[in-house]
């Protein structure tokens, strides 16, 4: 069984720790990457952690995950609310797929309240800040283990 998880991060997340820390916290994406890779290693997962500011690159990465049979954790950031190409790419993923948001998007302004990605994923984690990544990695591990138990 493939134990690779792509952790895909969308636009502006490269500015975490500096961009609106009252919403997104003070933890940088590099710190999140380091913690994610460490936890994934402890769980015997291979972590492929990426960030892009470009919609087409995100689509390419989702398709790459599909081709490799990898699980996916995606924080689509601003793409969450309007990107039909990202949504359509996510629909081909048949491995565990989790949508992640640092903030509680349901408590935000109307523009940031409804992610169109949510209908295509196994689960959504939001509002847990940087700790959401650890929760998502543990959830991916659990979903992968359940797949093995059912086969």
Indicate which residues carry an active-site annotation: 24, 101
Within 13 Å, how many C-alpha atoms sit on residue 95's CB side?
Answer: 24
C-alpha distance from residue 117 to each of 10, 19, 27, 111, 146 (Å)? 13, 23, 25, 15, 23
Structure-token match 């009252």, residue found: 22
Please tell me whether 103 is known to bind a ligand: yes
Determine whether the annotation assigns residue 144 to a binding site. Answer: no
Q: Was 149 annotated as part of a binding site?
A: no
In this structure, the dihedral spanned by the alpha carbons of residues 110, 93, 131 and 49, taken in order and rounded to 10 degrees, is -110
Question: Could you tell me which residues come within 8 angstroms of residue 74 by beta carbon, excluding any fewer than 6 positions away?
Answer: 7, 8, 9, 10, 62, 90, 97, 98, 99, 100, 117, 121
| E-assigned strand segments in 32-120 | 46-51, 71-75, 97-101
Residue 118, marked binder: no
- Binding-site positions read 75, 88, 102-103
- Residue positions forming the annotated binding site for substrate: 75, 88, 102-103
């Amino acid at each position: 069984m493939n134990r690779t998880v792509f952790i895909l991060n969308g636009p502006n997340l490269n500015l975490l720790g500096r961009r609106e820390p009252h919403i997104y916290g003070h933890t940088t994406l590099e710190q999140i990457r380091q913690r994610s890779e460490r936890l994934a290693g402890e769980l015997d997962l291979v972590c492929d952690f990426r960030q892009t500011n470009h919609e087409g690159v995100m689509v390419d990465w989702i398709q790459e995950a599909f081709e490799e049979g990898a699980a996916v954790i995606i924080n689509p950031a601003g793409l969450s609310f309007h990107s039909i190409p990202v949504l359509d790419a996510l629909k081909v993923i048949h491995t565990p797929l989790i949508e992640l948001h640092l903030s509680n998007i349901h408590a935000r302004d109307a523009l940031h309240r409804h992610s169109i990605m949510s209908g295509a994923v196994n689960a959504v984690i939001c509002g847990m800040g940087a700790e959401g990544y650890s929760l998502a990695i543990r959830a991916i591990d659990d979903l992968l283990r359940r797949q093995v138990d059912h086969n």
